[in-house]
Amino acid sequence: YLHQMPPLPKCDEDYCWLLTGRGKRSVALDLKDAEAREVLLGLAREADVFVTNYPLRVLRSLRLDWRDLVPLNPRLVYAHATGLGEEGPEAEKPGYDATAWWARSGLQDAVRPRGGVPALSVPGMGDHPSAMALFGAIMLGLYRRERTGRGAKVHSSLLANGAWSNAIYLQATLCGAEHFRRVDCHQPDNALVNQYETSDGEWILLALVQEDKLWPGLCRALGRADLTADPRFATRAERRTRAKELYAIVAPVIAGREYAHWRKALDEESVTFTHVARLDRLVDDPQLEAAGILRDALDSRGRAVRSVANPIAVEGSPAAPTRPAPAVGQHTDEVLAALGYDEARRAALRARGAIR
C-alpha cells in the first residue's frame, strides 16, 4: 500500500485508494481460472468501455487483448494504458509515473536547479494527467462509435504523456535550439519570471509574461518607480542582459516585507504572481473550495472527509454523490448475481478461489 511506503506521508487511511477508487465497484476474479475469465467476458459483452493497464504479454496470455474482445462486442472501446508505449525495445518494461513519466521523459532532469540533484516526483504526478489523456482517447473512441457504429482500440502511455509535459524543451531541442540553462533563482536569466522569499519565510513567484505591460506596475508595487526611468532596465533586452543586477535590486526589497504586504501591493498593480502554496494550507484554501476543487467524500469507515475532485466540470451536470472507495471484491456477489450467477454457483467459484 502506497500510504505506508516512504517517502509518502504515513496515514492510517489509505488515502491513495480513497482518492482514486471512490465511486467504483470492485469485483475480484482469478483470471487464470476459465470460469472466472468468463465472468469478465460477460461484462465485456455488455460494456461500453474496457480499460486495462496490464502489460501486453499478460493480456496475450490471458487472451484479453483487443483482438480477443472485439468479436464479442464490436461496439467496445478498448483502452490500454502502458508505461512506455505498445511498440519498441522497451514496450514490455514495467513503468510507474516516477520512472516512465518523470525520469524517462527528461522532466526530472529538466527541472533540476543549477548545481542541484534530480528531485523525486510527487506521487501520482504523472499518473493523473496520463489518465486524463486516456480519458480523452476514450471519448474520441466513443465519438467514433457514434459515427460508425463500431468501437475502437485507444491507448496512451506514461512516457508519451511525460514527453508531452516536457514538450517545450523537447521541441526546442528537436529544432536545434541552444541547450537550456538550468535555473538558479539567485542568479536568474530572467529576474521577472523568478521566485523570491519574503520576510516571513513565504515565497512568491513572479511571472511577468506580458513584461512590457507589467514592468511599470511591478516597479510601483516595489516602491521603486524610479526603476522605470533607469536606462539599465529600459527595454526587455536590457532587463534580460542585466537580469542578475535586477535580481540584486528586487530580492532585498521583497525580502524586507511579509507576504501579506506583497499580495496586496502586487494585486493592486495587477502584477502576475502567485504564492508558492504549502500543502498544509491548501486544505483550507478558499479558492480551491469556491472553485469546487475540493469535494465531499467518504473514507473507508464511512466518515465524511474532503477529497480532491477530478478536474472536469460540465455545466448543468453536477457531480454525482460519491460512494466510498470499495474494498477489494466488495461487489463481486452483486455483480455476478446481475450476470445470472446464483448463490450455489457463486459459492462454488468462491470455494476454489476463482472469485473473492
pLDDT digits (tens, 9 = 90+) for 157-177: 999 999 999 999 999 999 999
- Residue 1 has a pLDDT of 60
Cα 350 to Cα 36: distance, rounded to the nearest angstrom = 10
**Residues near 48 by beta carbon (within 8 Å), at least 6 away in sequence:** 75, 76, 77, 142
Which grid cell is 230? 533607469
- Predicted TM-score (pTM) of the model is 0.92
- Residue 353 has a pLDDT of 96
Percentage, residues of the chain above pLDDT 90:
88
Q: How far is CA 200 from CA 256, 257, 276, 315, in A?
A: 9, 8, 13, 41
pLDDT digits (tens, 9 = 90+) for 2-48: 667 788 888 889 999 999 999 999 999 999 999 999 999 999 999 99
pLDDT digits (tens, 9 = 90+) for 276-300: 999 999 999 999 999 999 999 988 8
Q: Mean pLDDT, to the nearest integer, of 197-212?
A: 97
What is the phi/psi pair of residue 22, to 5°? -60, 145
Cα 59 to Cα 264: distance, rounded to the nearest angstrom = 57
Three-state DSSP at 169 gives: helix
Give residue 180's pLDDT band: very low, low, confident or very high (50, 70, 90): confident
- Residue 150 has a pLDDT of 97
Q: Give the chain's length.
A: 356
Q: Mean pLDDT, to the nearest integer, of 254-265?
A: 98
Give residue 181's pLDDT band: very low, low, confident or very high (50, 70, 90): confident
- Residue 341 has a pLDDT of 96
Cβ atoms within 10 Å of 314's Cβ, excluding its own: 7
Residue pair 227/219 in contact (Cβ under 8 Å)? The answer is: yes
Cα 38 to Cα 26: distance, rounded to the nearest angstrom = 17
Which amino acid belongs to residue 64? L
What average pLDDT does the structure give for the chain? Answer: 94
Cα 189 to Cα 192: distance, rounded to the nearest angstrom = 9
pLDDT digits (tens, 9 = 90+) for 71-107: 999 999 999 999 999 999 999 999 999 999 999 999 9
Q: Mean pLDDT, to the nearest integer, of 52-67?
A: 96
Percentage, residues of the chain above pLDDT 70:
99
- Residue 27 has a pLDDT of 98
Q: Mean pLDDT, to the nearest integer, of 297-323?
A: 88
Cα 19 to Cα 21: distance, rounded to the nearest angstrom = 6
Helical ranges in 8-125 per DSSP H: 15-21, 34-46, 56-61, 66-69, 107-110
- Residue 3 has a pLDDT of 66
On the question of pLDDT at 249 being above 90, the answer is yes
Helix, strand counts (H, E) of the chain = 16, 8
- Closest CA relative to residue 130, chosen from 159, 94, 170: 159
